[in-house]
Structure 1
C-alpha cells in the first residue's frame, strides 16, 4: 500500500482528533487565536501617519486637511503631493472647517468638551456632564499660536458644534460669518467680536412641537459669502441649501436654492448634505453625504454631474472643484482625501485616518491661498463625465459597523473589526462545544 505524504498524514491525524471529545472546541479555539493574531498584526502594522495610496497624477501643491477625530483628537494637517505631513496643528477637541487665510495664517473651526468647572452658567450647573466650547481660531503657521479667536459655550458638543465659518473683507476690514448649530442661527462678527447681524431659523421656520431648543433641528453645517450681502447656508436636516439676503439694516430674507425647504420634508435631491459650493457660473457643487456622492446642479436645479456611489465613497463631506477641472473630495468614513479627474476616476489619494472633515488645495498666492470651488469650472464648462460606482447593501452596512466602532476603538484596531468579531464568535462556539463535551 502506498503511504500518504507526511504532511497529509499529519492533517488526517489532526482531523481525526476533531471527532474526539472536546476536539471541536479545541479547533474553534485555535481558529479564534488565528483571527485574534490576524487582528493584532493588522493593528500593529497600521500606519500611524497619513500615507499616499494612489499617485497616478500627483498635484502640484499641498493639501490642507481638517481631521475631526473620532474621540477628541482633532487636528489640522498639511500634506505634500507625496502624502507627507509638512505642517500640523493639534487643536482643542474636534476640528471641522479649515481654510488658509494667507501664507502665514490658517482659520480653524473647533469644538471642545470642557469640564463643568470651566463652563459658565447655566451650563456649569445643568444636568449635562461638561459643556462645549466652540471657537473660530486664526492660527499662526510658524508658531501654531492662536492669534485671534471668537468663542462661545453651549450645553454639549453633540449636535452643538461650530462646523463652519467664512472670512470676508468689507472696506478693508475682516469679518467672519459663522453657523451655530446648537442655537440654529447664522451670525457675523467683526474682528473686535462685535455682532453685525444675526438670523435665527425660528425667524423663518416653525420648529416642530415635539422638538425642544436643544434638539437637532436644522443642523446648520456650512456658510459661505457668495457675494456682498448674500450668504449661502446648508440646512442639513432640511436636505436644503438656502441663500440669506442681508440688508444694510440687518434684516434677512431667505431664498431656497435646492431642497424641500422644511424639516423632514418630501424626498429631495439631497440627503444630509455638507459643504455646498457655488461655482463661477452659478452651478452648485455639494457633498451629498448620505447618498455617498458629490453632485453638481445647474442654476435650474438639474443634476449636471455626479461622482461616487457607495462603491467608491462612504459619507463624503466636502467636494471642491479645482481650477484644472478635477474635484478634491473628503471621503470621511473611508478616512481619506481623494482627487478625481475629468472622468470621475481617483487619480490621487491620501489615507488620513481620524475622520477627515474638509480639505482644501493650497496655492502659493496672496492674499487667499485656499483653492476653493469658486475659481473652478462647472461640469459643462470642463466637459466632465459622471462616475457612479454602486456598492452592495451588505457591504454598506459592514462599512458602517467599522465606522461606528472607530468612535470606541483605536482607529487601527477598528479596521480589524471583522477579525475581532470572528474571534468573539469562534470563542463562543468553542465554549459551547467544550460544555457539550463534558
Structure 2
C-alpha cells in the first residue's frame, strides 16, 4: 500500500513540474542584465542535426519548434549550411525563412507552410518590404547574373541588380589585401578557396537592405565593401576595405557591419561602426568569430550572431546579454591563431565549425 502511494505521489509530482524544466537546452547564458531584450530568438537549426526551425528563450531553452515536412527535408540536406536566413513577421506572428539554393517560405504557429519564392540561387538574406514585395539575395550567383531581386506577391521581378555593370574589375578592390592573404583566399595556399575564379560566385553578395529613402544597401563580400545604390541601380556611395564584409545596416550613427580581419595568423574579427563620413570604430576585436547576423533593436542596440554566440550590444560595444552554444566552451572563439584553429575547438554541430548563421528576435513567452 505504501509503495503504491509513493508511486502515485511521484507520478503526480512529475506531472505538475513545469514543462520548461524538461525543455531542450541549446545555450549557456554568460551575461544577463535587467535591461536586455527578453524576446526569444528563432533560427533555422543548423546546430543539432534536427530538421526544424527552433525558438529559444533568453535562458537558452527551446520554447517552440516546427519540424520540416518531408518535402523540405530532402531539398535542404546539402545547402542548409550556406546562408539560412530568418525574419519574424510580427503582425501575423509568422516566420519568413530561406532554405539556401531552394527557396523562401512563410510558416505560421499552426505549422501551415507557404512557398513565396523558388530560386536555386537564393541565400543569405530576405526582407518583406512595406509594399508587400520581397527583396532577397542570390549569394551564389555567377558574374553577370543578377544578385539582388525584388519580386511582388505574384512572383514577378520588379527590380534587380548585378555588380557586373558597375564593378567589372574585382582585383582593384583587393589592392589593400596582403599578398599571402589573397593567395590563401584564392586557394593558392591551403585548401579553402574563398575567392573563386572564372566568374563563379564572383561577388558573393550576402546582404541587402531597402532604405527609407528608396535607396538599397548591398553587401559584396568578395569585393570587401558595401554599396548604396539608387532606384536606378547606380552606385551613390561605397564603403570599402572591410574584409569579407557581412551584415551592413543603416543606423542612427551611420552604418554597422562585421569584418573578418586577420593579422599575422591572429583572428581579429570585429563589429565595425562606420560614420556617414567614413570614419570607423572597431568593437569587440578578437572576441567573437565570423559574425554573420546583426539585427537592429530599439534604443540603438543590436543583436549579434557569431558562429556560436548570440549577444546584445549597444553602439559602444557593451554587452547586455550573451549566451553561447553549449556544445562549445565559453571562450572557444577567442585567441584563435594558426596553432589554435577553428577545427580544434569547434568540432561539434551540423554546420561545424560555423554552426550559427542568423537569428531573429520574436516574442516573450510567459
Matched, 1:109 2:98: yes
Corresponding residue for residue 69 of structure 1: 46
With over 3 angstroms needed to count, the CA separation of the structure-2 counterparts of 1:352 and 1:143, relative to structure 1, is farther
Matched, 1:56 2:37: no
- Partners of 1:200 and 1:343 in 2: how far apart? 34
Corresponding residue for residue 310 of structure 2: 337
Pick one of 275, 279, 292 that aligns with 2:251: 279
Render the CA deviation track for 1:342-363: whole Å, top value 9, x for unaligned: 66343422224699xxxxxxxx
Corresponding residue for residue 306 of structure 1: 282
With over 3 angstroms needed to count, the CA separation of the structure-2 counterparts of 1:330 and 1:244, relative to structure 1, is same
TM-score by length of structure 2 reads 0.66
Matching of residues 85-96 of structure 1 within 5 Å? 85-90=62-67, 92=72, 93=76, 94=80, 96=84
With over 3 angstroms needed to count, the CA separation of the structure-2 counterparts of 1:403 and 1:216, relative to structure 1, is farther
Deviation at 1:272, TM superposition (A): 0.6
Preserved contact between residue 28 and residue 326 of structure 2 (Cα < 8 Å):
no
Corresponding residue for residue 197 of structure 2: 211
Corresponding residue for residue 349 of structure 1: 322
- Partners of 1:211 and 1:193 in 2: how far apart? 32
Pick one of 184, 190, 195 that aligns with 2:157: 195
Render the CA deviation track for 1:6-64: whole Å, top value 9, x for unaligned: xxxxxxxxxxxxxxxxxxxxxxxxxxxxxxxxxxxxxxxxx963133224315343232
Corresponding residue for residue 400 of structure 1: 342
Pick one of 110, 115, 119 that aligns with 1:143: 110
Pick one of 130, 133, 140 that aligns with 1:182: 140
Deviation at 1:100, TM superposition (A): 0.9
Corresponding residue for residue 97 of structure 1: 85
Deviation at 1:256, TM superposition (A): 3.3
Deviation at 1:104, TM superposition (A): 1.9
Deviation at 1:295, TM superposition (A): 1.1
Preserved contact between residue 294 and residue 319 of structure 1 (Cα < 8 Å):
no
Taking only aligned residues, the RMSD between alpha carbons, in angstroms, comes to: 3.3
With over 3 angstroms needed to count, the CA separation of the structure-2 counterparts of 1:278 and 1:73, relative to structure 1, is farther
- Partners of 2:136 and 2:315 in 1: how far apart? 33
Preserved contact between residue 57 and residue 347 of structure 1 (Cα < 8 Å):
yes
Preserved contact between residue 275 and residue 318 of structure 1 (Cα < 8 Å):
yes
Render the CA deviation track for 1:301-346: whole Å, top value 9, x for unaligned: 101x432222x211112233432344321121xx120123566343
Deviation at 1:393, TM superposition (A): 5.4
Report SS of the residue matched to 1:54.
strand
Give ranges in structure 2 of 5+ residues lacking alignment: 1-22, 172-195, 262-267, 354-366
TM-score by length of structure 1 reads 0.56
Report SS of the residue matched to 1:402.
helix
Deviation at 1:71, TM superposition (A): 9.3
Report SS of the residue matched to 1:337.
strand
Deviation at 1:235, TM superposition (A): 0.2
Corresponding residue for residue 288 of structure 1: 259
Report SS of the residue matched to 2:342.
helix
Corresponding residue for residue 225 of structure 2: 240
Report SS of the residue matched to 2:46.
coil
Give ranges in structure 1 of 5+ residues lacking alignment: 1-46, 112-132, 155-160, 260-267, 356-389, 412-438
- Partners of 1:345 and 1:401 in 2: how far apart? 29
Corresponding residue for residue 6 of structure 2: none
With over 3 angstroms needed to count, the CA separation of the structure-2 counterparts of 1:200 and 1:54, relative to structure 1, is same
Render the CA deviation track for 1:358-403: whole Å, top value 9, x for unaligned: xxxxxxxxxxxxxxxxxxxxxxxxxxxxxxxx96453x65242236
Matched, 1:256 2:223: no
Corresponding residue for residue 102 of structure 2: 134
Render the CA deviation track for 1:156-208: whole Å, top value 9, x for unaligned: xxxxx5111121123xxx10111112225211100110111212222222266
